[in-house]
Copies of this chain bind each other. A is one copy, B any other.
């Protein structure tokens, strides 16, 4: 791995927040501040959420917790880093790469002060492609060696705020308590890269009325580094992905099932999903210790979710 300035390794399209965090200031300024009122509750900030993960307060899905960019995490021995970066480059809808760490450094400028080994709600640890921690683990400090390189990958949770704001809240976000989005392993193979020779595309599913699919496509399209627009939709789409039966029966591979109300005109809509690399690690039998998040339990950054501006000219 090359060295270089940590700040420079951040992708240019993501604006970093200056410190102190204006997001939390903005939220605070809306709170009542009269001396006659009781002291206002502290709003949940990315920093306080991550601290809550670190001290064990939060250990479940990050769906709609904080309106900043959320990330999938995958950390692996440095010898696999070049191939993994290529896997991301060749499969950018499944694996939109936002940042990679220096070997051994569990930090990122996307969340200054954060520790990637403690600040996620729950982790999966793999050894030689097999899951070591079937119930997840709250910290991976003991597994993350000086040789581990961490990759942060965009997540569709980042655009759920925009869907909700536009009047299309994903159904799992309306459940009480909030559910984790349903996810499926498809029959679509990944484009291989180096040691990553096996694995399939994993998708998240949200049900929408068929007549709303075009609008939902439009809303999510500009979130290019959070999987962007759907990869397929409708029952024809489910068939094309090779998962019609699983979806009809509600047999999720990850996350929690949420009904599709066919009588109300709903159909399944599928997006790329950052659980994909975990399947690639398992199916390619990557050797050594690989660290990831439990699906749905994401890394919450300080980066505000902003739609990437549509550029009418092709990006070359």
Contact = CB atoms under 8 A, between A and B. Distances in A.
8 contacts: A82-B313, A85-B315, A89-B315, A90-B93, A99-B316, A189-B231, A189-B232, A192-B232
Given A189-B232, A192-B230, A232-B189, A314 B224 contact: no
Nearest to A99: B316
Contacts of A90: 92-93, 228
Contact of A89 (B189, B192, B224, B232): B224
A170 B243 CA distance: 36
Given A193-B229, A229-B193, A2 B313 contact: yes
Interface in A1-49: 1-2, 4, 9-11
A160 to B, nearest CB: 20
B316 A229 contact: no
How many copies of this chain?
A: 2
Interface string A280-316: 0000000000000000000000000000001111111
Most chain-B CB neighbours within 10 Å: which of A4, A151, A221, A272?
A: A221
Nearest to A230: B192
Contacts of A194: 221, 229
Name the interface size band of chain A. Answer: 35 or more
B314 A81 contact: yes
Nearest to A2: B313
A251 interface: no
Contacts of A100: 313-314, 316
A259 to B, nearest CB: 25
A240 interface: yes
Contact of A85 (B2, B9, B151, B314): B314
A97 interface: yes
Contacts of A231: 189, 191-192
Contacts of A1: 312-313
Given A9-B316, A191-B231, 18 more contacts: A2-B313, A4-B313, A10-B316, A11-B316, A82-B312, A82-B314, A86-B224, A88-B314, A89-B92, A89-B315, A90-B228, A93-B191, A100-B313, A100-B316, A189-B241, A192-B232, A193-B229, A194-B229
Contacts of A81: 312-314
A229 B192 contact: yes
A188 interface: yes
A314 B97 contact: yes
A312 B286 CA distance: 18
Given A11-B316, A314-B100, A316-B11, A189 B188 contact: yes
Contacts of A312: 1-2, 81-82
Interface in A190-223: 191-194, 221
Contacts of A310: 82
- The CB with the most chain B CB atoms within 10 A, among A1, A100, A229, is that of A229
